[in-house]
């Protein structure tokens, strides 16, 4: 079975109603990014950070996977699929995808702020000041913030280097280190990029096919192209 690696970004979940901070009117509008998504912001005002992610978690509980999520899961019928996502929601899981690497963490998890930094599933529950682990460490969102390492990028790079087909859905290919995964795809292997606006990423290899569509309509074309 051929290996298909799918890199997804905010454009996949946007059609489910999850706003993105990079869009005009997006969820992060009104917040300086560093206030709600950095260790500095956490140390300055943890209550603000917890409230911000509690709101996102509550919203996640109200939305459903869309046709793009289900189409990506359908690829598993003919391919050995690994999804590498920049998204922190659980919509790929809920749509049926089995092998998923979350580069930036997950909203439905919390982790301790003291060693060994244990991560736990919390579902859609709030995290509050005073919620501590067994070592009395305050719990925080299990999200990779700006300025923090992206430990899963090593695993994702290894997976990308084995791809027979590489698919990019709903990402601008300007956010690193995720965008750099294309550099690990073996030479000559087909790459498909789905986004309404052709990414200005500097990737101009002959083996890239651009599909300038939103995720749901673009994935319909991919299912046809890949005979799924």
Confidence of residue 26 (pLDDT cuts 50, 70, 90): very low
Non-local CB neighbours of 130 within 8 Å, separated by 6+ positions: 138
pLDDT at 24 over 70: no
Question: Do 132 and 203 reside in the same domain of the chain?
Answer: no
Taking only the tens place, the pLDDT of each residue in 175-208 is 778 889 999 999 999 999 999 987 665 555 668 8
Domain hosting residue 179, numbered range = 1-17+65-104+149-228
Q: Are residues 72 and 92 in the same domain?
A: yes
What CA–CA distances, in Å, run from 204 to 47, 174, 181, 199, 218?
44, 14, 15, 10, 20
Looking at the structure, tell me whether residues 76 and 183 fall in a common domain: yes
Verify that 98 and 201 share a domain, yes or no.
yes
Residue numbers annotated as active site: 104
Tokens standing for residue 106: 């997950």
Q: What is the number of domains present in the chain?
A: 2
Is 114 found in the same domain as 158? no
Both 186 and 210 in a single domain? yes
- For residue 28, the domain's CATH number is 3.30.1600.10
Within this chain, do residues 216 and 164 fall inside the same structural domain, yes or no? yes
Do both 26 and 71 map to the same domain? no
Query: Domain check: are 194 and 118 in the same one?
Result: no
Distance CA 69, CA 13 (A): 8
Convert the pLDDT of each residue in 92-135 to its tens digit: 999 999 999 999 999 999 999 999 999 999 999 999 999 999 99
Kindly state whether residues 53 and 92 are assigned to the same domain: no
Mutual angle of helices 215-225 and 67-74, in 10-degree steps: 20
pTM for this entry: 0.92
């Amino acid at each position: 079975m051929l290996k298909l690696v799918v890199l997804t970004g905010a454009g996949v979940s946007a059609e489910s109603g999850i706003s993105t901070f990079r869009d005009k009117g997006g969820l992060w509008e009104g917040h300086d990014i560093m206030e709600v998504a950095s260790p500095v912001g956490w140390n300055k005002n943890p209550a603000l950070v917890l409230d911000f992610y509690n709101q996102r978690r509550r919203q996640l509980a109200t939305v459903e996977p869309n046709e793009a999520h289900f189409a990506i899961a359908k690829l598993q019928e003919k391919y050995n699929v690994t999804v590498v996502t920049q998204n922190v929601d659980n919509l790929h899981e809920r749509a049926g995808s089995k092998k998923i690497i979350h580069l930036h963490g997950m909203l439905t998890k919390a982790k301790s702020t003291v060693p060994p930094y244990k991560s736990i599933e919390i579902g859609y529950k709030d995290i509050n000041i005073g919620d501590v682990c067994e070592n009395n460490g305050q719990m925080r969102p299990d999200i990779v913030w700006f300025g923090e390492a992206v430990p899963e990028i090593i695993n994702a790079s290894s997976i990308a280097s084995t791809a027979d087909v590489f698919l990019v859905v709903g990402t601008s290919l300007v956010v690193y280190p995720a965008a750099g995964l294309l550099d690990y795809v073996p030479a000559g292997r087909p790459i498909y990029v789905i986004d309404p606006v052709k990414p200005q990423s500097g990737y101009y290899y002959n083996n890239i096919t651009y599909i300038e569509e939103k995720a749901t309509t673009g994935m319909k074309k991919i299912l046809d192209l890949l005979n799924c």
